[in-house]
A and B are shown apart, each in its own frame.
Chain A
Amino acid sequence: MEIVGFLVMLIVIGPIIGFAVYFHYRAKYRNADARYNFEHTTDAVLANLSYADDYVGEVRGVKAPWIAGRNDHTPTVRAHFVKVHAIDVDHADPPPLLTADGNPA
């Protein structure tokens, strides 16, 4: 019976709604997630773009709607490999930038 399944679902959903109400109001009062969204307001101009898009193969029959480990929408979260050459500090010559697997470009 469809109706029984629906009602059982509602019983389970009750506590979930309770939690949702609690977290909604807590967020509204405490604003613990509020921060300066500098990546949207800071004046930053991109120029001299070099790019490559190399076909590597086909992905077949996966169930995920996104690429595994997708992070293009979370710019504040650092990638797996991070390197900063602060030549404004040490005044060295600009180093060669590496490829993703750590080899010279």
Chain B
Amino acid sequence: MGSMPGFEPETPAFRGKVLDTSANKTNGLNRCPSCGSTEISPVYGTYDLVCGHCRQSWTGTSLEVEQGLGEGIHALKGRVTASGAARITDTSTLVTLKCGGCGAEVVINTATGHQRRCHWCRQTLSLDAQVPNGAVPDGILPFYVSWEQAVGHVKQFLAKRSYFASDDFKRNFIPHNVVGVYLPYLVVDGNIRARLDGHGEILKKTYKKLFDDKTVYYDANAYRVYREFDLVVDDLIVESSSHRAAIDPLVNTNNVVNAILPFDVKNMVAFESNFIGEFTSEKRDLDIEHALERVQGKFMTLARQKVVEHIGHYNRGVRWDAEQLVVHGTRWVSVYLPVWLYSHYERQPDGKWMLHYIAVNGRNGQTMGSVPFQKSKLLGLALVIGGSTGAAALLLLVVALLVAATG
């Protein structure tokens, strides 16, 4: 087992390690290192922050480098939890901060933001250190795709989907409503061993039988197949808001937000609310326990995907009958990822509302969306095409039969 810098040696009584990502942070006044002002904002498209008072700028801390997140996954034993992914023990969204400037108590509503101006001394109060309601992640990946670019991506996406789009959607499309939001995710590393058992077949020959030139018959050799291996998984990304994690295309379109993953999470910086700037954010409300089953299922899928290149000679395929995982170690980090969202409510025939999203990855511009369409218009086209093919064939059939009868 390799050693990981900064970690206590493992003991039998160990119940899980915590990676403290808010060691040097406090809540309240986050001052410019140069002039002490709290007027700090992100520099768009960079990992930098800039002071609005003296224009001094500096770069955020890389979480990957600072916490060694890319290292030692093969040696992970037990669960390592970054402090921003800790269990949520306080479900209230309100956090009270004491202003370090004048002593006033200021309430921040973490459902909508991480900063608020002190109403007495006008300084900005920031929520940077983790509080037990899940509002402060370990890391954040700042927006790189600009609003103009995001609107361009959305328009391009819609240009290919305009003919059948519902009138209500087309009438109410307002590019201005493309908004940037930081959504909460968990990034998981895993040290796993997987065992797969099944059967595979290798083709010996194909042939046809006498008096039947249509049916093909196959002879094959059958094998019992066993594969067992270690799997080191780096940066698997899963939703950590119950709202976003509820992916069900029958009742919502969260799947299109899921589809713009992945993000370059290797580049995330240690969270500071100054990075959020003008954007809104959604609070994490799922604990690791809630994501566990989803993540284990994804580990299993990864094992099945990775083994494909080791069963290639089974040209009639493999049927896996059993799959088993030993999850030796995991590491969990919470992060805010930048997403541009356009949303539209569609009233469905049954009276229920469906919220359609068009989502743009705020790092690479990858776009996916759901557009409500006019069912009657599309059905009409389908009927015309299907019906005319059938009708033309019927007409030709009648002609052919007539020709045959009179011929």
Could you say which residues of chain A place their CB within 8 Å of the CB of B74? 47
Asked if A50 contacts B302 (CB within 8 A), the reply is no
Instruction: List 22 A-B pairs, Cβ < 8 Å.
Output: A7-B396, A10-B396, A14-B391, A15-B387, A16-B386, A28-B160, A29-B371, A32-B249, A33-B255, A36-B237, A38-B301, A42-B237, A42-B298, A53-B225, A70-B318, A71-B318, A75-B304, A78-B323, A81-B322, A86-B327, A88-B329, A100-B322
Among A48-105, those with CB < 8 Å from B are 48-73, 75-76, 78-89, 91, 94-95, 97-100, 105
CB distance from B387 to the nearest CB of A (A): 6
- Pick from A25, A31, A86, A95: contact of B292, CB under 8 Å: A86
Classify chain B: how many residues form its interface, as a range.
Answer: 35 or more
A82-B320 Cα distance, complex, nearest whole Å: 10
A79 touches B217 (CB 8 A): no
Which residues of chain B have C-beta atoms less than 8 A from A60's C-beta?
219
Contact mask for chain B residues 212-241; partner A; CB cutoff 8 A; 1 contact, 0 none = 000111111111111111111111110000
Is B78 close to A, CB under 8 A? yes
Contact of B386 among A21, A42, A81 (CB under 8 A): A21
Q: Does B326 contact A (CB under 8 A)?
A: yes
- Judge whether B352 is part of the interface by a CB distance below 8 angstroms: no
In contact, B301 and A76 (Cβ under 8 angstroms) = yes
CA distance A10 to B385 in the complex (A): 12
| Chain B positions near chain A (C-beta within 8 angstroms) | 14-15, 74, 76-79, 160-161, 164-165, 193, 195-201, 204, 215-237, 247, 249, 253, 255-256, 258-262, 292, 296-298, 300-302, 304-308, 310-311, 314, 316-330, 368-373, 378-379, 381-383, 385-394, 396-397, 400-401, 404
Whether B230 and A47, one on each chain, are in contact in the complex, defined by CB atoms closer than 8 angstroms, is yes
Give the residues in chain A near B397, CB-CB below 8 Å. Answer: 4, 7-8, 11
A59 touches B228 (CB 8 A): no
- State the CA gap A41–B327 with chains docked (Å): 20
- A7 contact from B259, B310, B382, B393, Cβ within 8 A: B393
Chain A contact residues, CB within 8 Å of chain B? 1, 3-4, 7-19, 21-22, 25-26, 28-36, 38-73, 75-76, 78-89, 91, 94-95, 97-100, 105
Among A36, A40, A68: residue with most chain B CB under 10 A: A36
Task: Please state if A79 and B323 are interface contacts (CB–CB under 8 Å).
Answer: yes
CA distance A98 to B392 in the complex (A): 62
**CA gap between A32 and B164 in the complex, in Å:** 16
Q: Contact at A42–B234, with CB atoms within 8 Å? A: yes
What CA separation (Å) do A98 and B321 show in the bound complex? 12
A45 contacts which chain B residues (CB < 8 A)? Answer: 231-232, 234
**B337 vs chain A, min Cβ distance (A):** 12
Contact A11 B393 (CB under 8 A): yes
Find the residue from B165, B259, B389 having the highest chain A CB count within 10 A: B389
Interface centre among B14, B218, B382 (most CB of A within 10 A): B382
Q: A18-B386, A58-B219 known; A44 and B323 CB under 8 Å?
A: no
- Name the contact of B227 in the complex, choosing from A38, A51, A57 (C-beta under 8 A): A51
Chain A residue nearest to B390 in the complex (CB):
A14
Min Cβ gap A99→B in Å is: 6
Nearest to B356 among chain A residues (CB) is A30
Question: Which residue from chain B places its CB closest to the CB of A51 in the assembled complex?
Answer: B227
Contact A67 B256 (CB under 8 A): no
Chain B residue contacts of A8, Cβ below 8 A: 393, 397
Docked pose: A15 CA to B386 CA in angstroms: 5
A91 and B370 contacting across the interface, CB-CB below 8 Å? no
Residues of A within 8 A of B258 (CB): 34-36
- Residue contact A34 to B231, C-beta cutoff 8 Å: no
* A62 contacts across to B, CB distance below 8 A: 217-218, 220
B259 engages A68 (CB within 8 Å): no
Taking the closest CB of chain B, its distance from the CB of A31, in whole angstroms, is: 6
Which of B165, B256, B320, B389 has the most chain A CB atoms inside 10 A of its CB? B320
CA distance A16 to B310 in the complex (A): 40
CB distance from B26 to the nearest CB of A (A): 32
Contact status B369-A11, CB under 8 Å: no
Give min CB distance, A28 to chain B, whole Å: 6
B223: chain A residues at CB < 8 Å are 53-56
B386 engages A63 (CB within 8 Å): no
Nearest residue in B to A50 (C-beta to C-beta)? B228
- List the 6 closest A-B pairs by CB distance, nearest first: A18-B386, A14-B390, A10-B393, A100-B197, A75-B304, A32-B249
Shortest Cβ gap from A47 to chain B (Å): 5
Check if A14 sits within 8 Å of B199, measured CB to CB.
no
